Amino acid sequence: MVTGTPLRVVFFGTPAFAVPTLDALIASAHPVVVVVTQPDRRRGRGQRVLDSAVKARAVAAGIPVLQPPSLTAADFLDQLAALHPDLGVVAAYGKILTERLLQIPRLGMINVHASLLPRYRGAAPIHRAVAAGEPETGVTIMRVVKALDAGPMIAAARRPIGPDDTSEQVEHDLARLGAALLVDVVDRLARGPVTETPQDDRLATYAPRLAKDDGVIDWSQSARRVHDLIRGMRPWPNACSYLAGTRLILLRSAVDETTHDVAPGTVIAATPDGLQVATGRGTLVVRELQAEGRRPMAVREFLAGHRLVAGDHFTAAP
């Protein structure tokens, strides 16, 4: 419950992850005076210019939207300063904020970051944590400073990562967890100063932006590592491998600890219940996959239209 004066908030965000935080602010006592989001981009197969998820939500709520091509543009900075914001809130905006920008809100800026800092600083903390097989992640509300995700921490909340959870599932939960935590922090800031705990830089790890090649499967890894990659690369770039020169996206899998004395990537058995594929340690059971340009299929359906037999071999390249 807010007992201080409501804060005038400028919101920076772009993808769907940021929408629950924007929604929570809209429902709070703190007015969102403007939303800043990245310029419209071409998306999808048709390459149509589409609004970002945050822009669409802001427009629907009647909140003014700014989409500066450059964060150093004088007209943009002047527009923002003229609003006399008390606080900036950042959730997956997608660009590093400048020192000049950080100085505009009276109380500075805070960020909703999808990891338990100082681990997994960077652009892809959820995907990297799931792909690494981490048993737990969370969200951290931190003060934004010029260094990447290195500001002092104000609050954190944890979420276990189940052995079969995908990045999509974890992101969905963290977006909502972070939204509630963020509004609580804004309420506290409205009442006065809050405790800010410096990060231990010695414990920091980095979660770089994903590239398409990050999804290529290395079958010499253990079945558990390959399984973690498959669930961590959802929904993009997706884990993939090649069979007879055809790129296949692997969407759902399970781990069998049985080890076979064959080369990693070799198909041990192709049954309607799953493709059993040898790895560097253990067997990966593929449950769902997708041929490039086709829809996802359960293995049973895939085998009805594709001939696969024991001895076929998955490779990292065509």
pLDDT digits (tens, 9 = 90+) for 262-287: 999 999 999 999 999 999 999 999 99
d(CA 12, CA 5): 22
pLDDT for 112: 98
89-110 burial, b at 16+ Cβ within 10 Å, e below that, comes to bbbbbeeebeeebbebbebbbb
Q: What stretch(es) of the chain map to CATH 3.10.25.10?
A: 212-315
Closest alpha carbon to 207 in 115, 109, 110:
115
DSSP 144-180: --SSTT-SPEEEEEEEE--TT--HHHHHHHHHHHHHH
The tens digit of pLDDT for each residue in 191-243 reads 999 999 999 999 999 999 999 999 999 999 999 999 999 999 999 999 999 99
Q: Which amino acid, residue 137? A: T
Q: Is there a contact between 30 and 9 (Cβ–Cβ < 8 Å)?
A: yes
Q: What stretch(es) of the chain map to CATH 3.40.50.170?
A: 9-203
CATH architecture of 9-203: 3-Layer(aba) Sandwich (3.40)
Q: Which amino acid, residue 60? A: A
Number of H helices, E strands in the chain: 8, 16
CATH 3.10.25.10 for the 212-315 domain, yes or no: yes
pLDDT for 48: 74
